[in-house]
Chains A and B, each alone.
Chain A
Amino acid sequence: MSPISRGFLGRRRSGGDPSRVPPGQHVTKGFPVLSAGPTQHTPLPDWSFRIDGAVKEPSSWRWEEFLALPAEQITVDIHCVTKWTKLDTSWRGVSLDTLLATIETDAEYLTAWCDGGYTTNLALADIVDGKAWVTYEYDGGPVHPEHGGPARLLVPHLYFWKSAKWVRGLTLTPTDEPGFWETYGYHNHGDPWLEQRYQGD
């Protein structure tokens, strides 16, 4: 049982429908920036997106090829482990179902890797069936570098550190291998509705 914080009133429901705000989160109108290092700036001619690892045949797309893939408009709520939730964010990008359509694999896990060396691990089951995208537009314009552009992974049903900024590829792995924050004590799965913030939650 949590003790009552003497004199604490709180500012409840200031930001929208409480049924859309996971436990311990509060709604922000802004779009805070959180990264472990400097913002990356990858020139588009040097950009590609690659799916490799435990696959029969790796796939890779250059920027123009990526833009030519069938894209979807996505409006979702996003939840950062640092406690902010942002409602109705709108993105445009390619579903991972589309990207994985021609990939043959027995692997059940993957590591998303990024410019700047960031990684995060995901179960394949968490990114298929319309649950994840590689996005290149936010709110009608390019994804700003601070927010992960040119392309950012979007896995909105998990805490936002799983939605890797500056993503460049997915490496499928037979076993689950913790990524960057996952090795620094953050939860391996990161479901905001179960408040899986840190190891053991």
Chain B
Amino acid sequence: MARAALPGRLSWQIGRVVDTIQETRRAKSLVLDLPNWPGHRAGQHIDIRLTADDGYQAQRGYSIASAPEDDGVMLTVDRLEDGEVSPYLTDVVEPGDEIELRGPIGGYFVWDPSLSGPLLLISGGSGIVPLRAMLRDWAAARPQVKVRLLHSARSLDDVIFRDEIMRFAAFDEVDVRIALTRAWPEGWRGHRGRIDRDFLERAAWPPQDAPRIYVCGPTGFVEAAAAALVETGQRPDTIKTERFGPTGG
């Protein structure tokens, strides 16, 4: 017998994949139609549960790339070479497939347009996924809040949502700075190398401007960026972090 959902309970539900978008060589977006989606806030994530035909199950969490006001919930998955779940999502899943999931999850690493203060978004690699939801939320609401995105990727081709980021950069209130760590196109005028203390000192608002800071990416990236932010005087309690472990696959 079906058990009634408790208030606030995160029930598993079945989503249907309505579209897939190859974002970069490694990253793919899945757009899902979710009949029972309660809505979400930018920055939240979902849990996916896959089931093999013998009943074996695997669960992983993925950040939501879509803004609350978007149609459908979009997940953007970075394919980890030795992953168990991500290669399935990027290589096997097609429109029409069903995916079991629940969410939204997480109430701390979230942003909404009512929040004051300049918004400083710092991401490495697929860490841009939840920040893209925040940027889209910002663009839909256009609050009187300045935004700066500092994003690090191996090469320009590895920048997920590259075209969209460039469109965000066209807003007067939005400033985008890309750091490329491995390869640079000819004449590249952006940052070369990792997002480090020097770069953050130049690119971040000073602490007295009280930026609201979100840092997302692989553990090493987040550790380094968050430590450098604290070293440059940013208040630790203004820095929210989301770390992707090597087992996020």
Q: CB within 8 Å of B: which residues of A? A: 2-12, 14, 23-26, 28, 30, 32-40, 82-84, 116-117, 146, 180-181, 183-185, 197-201
Contact = CB atoms under 8 A, between A and B. Distances in A.
A198 B241 CA distance: 20
Contacts of B60: 83
The bracket for how many chain B residues form the interface is 35 or more
Given A8-B50, A9-B52, A37-B236, A185 B14 contact: no
B61 A5 contact: no
A35 B241 contact: yes
12 contacts: A2-B49, A6-B92, A8-B92, A12-B56, A14-B84, A24-B49, A25-B59, A36-B108, A82-B61, A84-B245, A185-B8, A199-B10
A83 B59 contact: yes
Interface in B1-25: 5-10, 12, 14
A37 B226 contact: yes
Given A5-B50, A184-B106, 5 more contacts: A2-B51, A8-B50, A14-B84, A116-B237, A197-B47
B229 interface: yes
B52 A4 contact: yes
A184 B107 contact: yes
Tell me if B's interface is mostly helix, strand, loop or mixed. Answer: mixed
B57 interface: yes
Contact of B247 (A6, A23, A26, A183): A26
Nearest to A27: B247
Interface in B174-189: none
A2 B55 CA distance: 9
Interface of B: 5-10, 12, 14, 47, 49-53, 56-61, 84, 88, 92, 97-100, 102, 105-109, 219, 223, 226-227, 229-230, 236-237, 239-241, 243, 245-248
A9 B223 CA distance: 34
B237 A6 contact: no
A5 B51 contact: yes
B209 to A, nearest CB: 18
Nearest to B11: A200
A117 B7 CA distance: 29
Q: B9, B49, B84, B247 — which one has the most chain A CB atoms within 10 A of its CB?
A: B247
A30 B243 CA distance: 14
